[in-house]
Amino acid sequence: MGGIHPEANKIAHNQTVEEFPLPDQAVVYMTQHLGAPAKPIVQKGDKVKVGQLIGEANGFVSANIHAPISGTVSRVDAIADISGYKKPAIVIDREGDEWMEDIDTTPDIVSEIKLGKDEIIARMKDRGIVGLGGACFPTHIKYMLKPEQKCEYLIVNAAECEPYISTDNRMAIEHAEECIIGVEIALIASGADQAVIGIEDNKPEATASLAAAAKGHPKITVQPLRIKYPQGAEKQLINAITGRCVPNGALPISVGCIVNNLTTIYAIYQAVQKNMPIVQTFTTVSGKSVPADKCRNFHLRLGTSIKAVMDAVGIPEDTGKIISGGPMMGKAIAHLDAYAAKGMSSFLFMSEKESRRGEVSPCLRCGKCVSACPMGLEPYRLHAFSELNRFDDCEKYGIMNCIECGSCQYTCPSNRPILDFVRVGKAKTGALIRARSAANPK
């Protein structure tokens, strides 16, 4: 149902991932995941090694944070992130590159899986694994099933339906073997009978690479998918692969599925086989105005200044907007003096012309947004209700099911800010629903 076909612009598809030089200073935010910020457990002057725990998960939905470089903690402070808001962070000044002794940093591939189900989930939690597709939801929570729940399908999301971003593609080509081992680990953790890797068919090289690596693994299949946005969204991917529909307000596990991004699967491999926490991120730096050979894929340490990453490519003169994480769902960067965090899969330079919004005109009732909505909602209506503060109607018309993919706004011929208002409405309606259930607990 629904969906759109934005220009793919996968300019950096064929650029091999390069190691980004180590930063002299790393700023590590405590808010690199969904949920409560981590609690800093180091103080000014402490010596840390790469991979050492510096931020402890603070609550059920939260994740551990590890030091991305070795050196001395120079500050524990609030530092602005890309939104310009200050977030708690730890600043580390680099001295050499000394890793924790229990982390295997060799490039060797370890294929023998020694850990059992519970140990794997504990390891995910300990190593701070979060969903690296963008939402940064702590991964171990997905695997903590209730006794009555059973996972039948483990779905690996390599669709990469967002334009420009090429990290999953490079991951599949360069680390196919590790990814397949990662899938085997996730299969043990989830108890699923089979795993399906969904990948859009504009990535033939990656598909072939994964299929070759998956040979001899009877439980794992690689499933090419037709190109469509937002196919990489959890519910849409489940529907495309299994034909099942996740009910409103339910999680994928209610239809027996667990979905993980390919990069997350790689992180799981690293954590379980090599005891490696997430201290690095894969990032595509791209844009139409950047010469095609200059668009690059980097493997960089968390806490690296994003300005340094952009300067390595060179910010084009006509840049009007810089987006972190995909042109459809990513966020515009309001504050350039910020630092890389988990899940930042791209920095995109949009030209002045591309970044301007068109003039808004009245809604034509053409219904394009309705046919584009992958959740079967009526976006033009939700927009109007939200603008008029009619949140009861927002709820009635299913605003809470919106996945904020932006297809409605992309397709609108009147350039109406549909998604913006749906987001406002969703936030306010959600707050009202929570207040209501707090007032009348069942």
Partner 1 sequence: MNMIILLNVDVAVLWQAALILAVIGVLAAVILFFIAKKFHVEEDPRIDLIVECLPGANCGGCGFAGCRNLAENMVARGTMEGCSCPGNSKENNAKIAGILGIEAGETTPKIAVVRCQGSCENAPAKVQYDSAFSCAFANNLFAGENGCPNGCLGCGDCVKACNFGAISIDPETRLPIVDEEKCVGCGVCAKNCPRGVIEIRAKGPKNRRVYVACNNKEKGAVAMKNCKAACIGCGKCAKVCPFEAITVESNLAYIDFTKCKMCKKCVAECPKNAILAVNFPAPKPAPAPAPETKNETAEETTISNQ
What residues from 229 to 288 belong to the interface with partner 1 (CB under 8 A)? none
Stretch touching partner 1 by CB under 8 A, among 27-35, 208-216, 349-357, 391-399: 349-357
Smallest gap from Cβ 386 to partner 1, in A, equals 9
CA angle 219, 150, 157 (to 5 degrees): 50
Q: Does 400 bind partner 1 (CB under 8 A)?
A: no
Could you tell me if 210 and 180 are in contact, meaning their C-beta atoms sit under 8 angstroms apart?
yes
Mention every residue, 6+ apart, whose C-beta is less than 8 A from residue 150.
191, 256
Question: Which candidate, 327, 164, 162, places its Cα nearest to that of 231?
Answer: 162
Question: Which candidate, 38, 296, 257, 311, places its Cα nearest to that of 143?
Answer: 257
Smallest gap from Cβ 116 to partner 1, in A, equals 42
Q: Does 421 bind partner 1 (CB under 8 A)?
A: yes
Stretch touching partner 1 by CB under 8 A, among 47-55, 121-129, 142-150, 355-363: 355-363
Q: Does 355 bind partner 1 (CB under 8 A)?
A: yes
The length of the chain is 442
- Distance CA(185)–CA(273), nearest Å, equals 9
- Distance CA(221)–CA(196), nearest Å, equals 5
Nearest 5°: phi and psi at 312?
-65, -30
C-beta of 47 vs 331, nearer to partner 1: 331
Out of 144, 307, 423, 432, the residue judged to bind partner 1 by CB under 8 A = 423
- Distance CA(297)–CA(281), nearest Å, equals 10
Out of 410, 411, 412, 429, the residue judged to bind partner 1 by CB under 8 A = 410
Residues 310-339 as x/- pattern, contact with partner 1 by CB under 8 A = ---------xxxxx---xxxxxxxxxx---
Out of 224, 316, 398, 417, the residue judged to bind partner 1 by CB under 8 A = 417
Report how many residues bind partner 1 under the rule CB under 8 A. 35
Q: Does 358 bind partner 1 (CB under 8 A)?
A: no
C-beta of 46 vs 420, nearer to partner 1: 420
- Distance CA(9)–CA(152), nearest Å, equals 35
- Distance CA(50)–CA(30), nearest Å, equals 16
Q: Which residues bind partner 1 (CB under 8 A)?
A: 80, 83-86, 319-323, 327-336, 352, 355-357, 406, 409-410, 417, 419-421, 423-424, 427-428
